[in-house]
Amino acid sequence: MSRGAGDYRAGDGSARLFLAVAFPRELKLQIERATEPARSLEGLRWGRTDQLHLTLRFLGRTPRDRIAPIADRVGERVRALDPFPIELNGGGAFPTVRRPRVVWLGVRPTAELTALHETVQRALEDVGFPPEMRRFRPHVSLARVRDDVRPEGLAAFFDALDFDAAHVVDAVALLKSELRPRGAVHTRLASCPLGAARIRAGSDP
């Protein structure tokens, strides 16, 4: 696995990492089109369409010498699972639509998705990460709400939202997140295929 320009914060040899299900371009564009009516609402800071994903575990700032062991162990664990479909539909906000902080698109929980999440957690424990105590609530983060703003019309948008899409999960991506003035930029460091015997390195988010 090679290091690229800007991969790590200068001087501390670390990167902000997370593990996720990455989406193909067409699905990202479907999500963008479905959420277009809400993009004019005041107070929402929308994420970049090309970086939409389903987070499995946020690791935070992690020493770069742990990147390869993480990718190796996750790859070993998830290759025992078969690819499976997920469904994306509905949406809402955390903590509530009436008092939103994060706006999201829903992902229907399934036994296969829960098994993938638990497998990733076990792999991380194998390489020294503590268990995550929060309950897994699968979703796709869309936008963040600016401080002290309650976007008028958000509840009505979700009441009217008619979105239903499917995606076959066939890999877990190890991604690096760089915080920039216009928002986070994600870079794929490795792809860990389900049902496969090796880890594919990659650079696309």
Q: DSSP secondary structure string, 30-63?
A: HHHHHHGGGTTSTTEEEPPGGG-EEEEEEEEEEE
Question: Which residues participate in catalysis according to the annotation?
Answer: 53, 139
**Mean pLDDT, residues 162-186 taken together:** 91
- E-strand spans in the chain? 14-22, 44-46, 53-63, 84-95, 100-107, 139-145, 164-169, 171-180, 183-193
**Cα–Cα distance between 48 and 55 in angstroms, integer?**
15
> How confident is residue 182, by pLDDT bands cut at 50, 70 and 90?
confident
| Mean pLDDT rounded to a whole number for the chain | 88
Domain ranges of the chain: 15-193
pLDDT tens, residue by residue, 144-161: 998 777 788 999 999 999
Domain 15-193, architecture per CATH: Alpha-Beta Complex (3.90)
Q: What are phi and psi of 43, to 5 degrees?
A: 95, 0
**Cα–Cα distance between 67 and 70 in angstroms, integer?**
5
pLDDT tens, residue by residue, 107-130: 999 999 999 999 999 999 999 999
User: Can you tell me which residue has the tokens 């993480």?
Assistant: 70
Write b or e for each residue in 172-184: b if 16 or more Cβ atoms lie within 10 A of its Cβ, otherwise e: bbbbbbeeeeeee
Per-residue pLDDT at 141: 96
CB 20 within 8 A of CB 56: yes
**Cα–Cα distance between 18 and 186 in angstroms, integer?**
10
* Contacts with 199 (C-beta within 8 Å, 6 or more apart), sequence order: 71, 72, 75, 190, 191, 192, 193
pLDDT tens, residue by residue, 27-78: 999 999 999 999 999 999 999 999 999 999 999 999 999 999 999 999 999 9
The angle formed by the CA atoms of residues 17, 110 and 44, to the nearest 5 degrees, is 50
CB 13 within 8 A of CB 174: no
**Cα–Cα distance between 35 and 46 in angstroms, integer?**
10
Cα end-to-end span (Å), the chain: 16
For the cut 60, the answer to whether the pLDDT of residue 200 exceeds it is: no
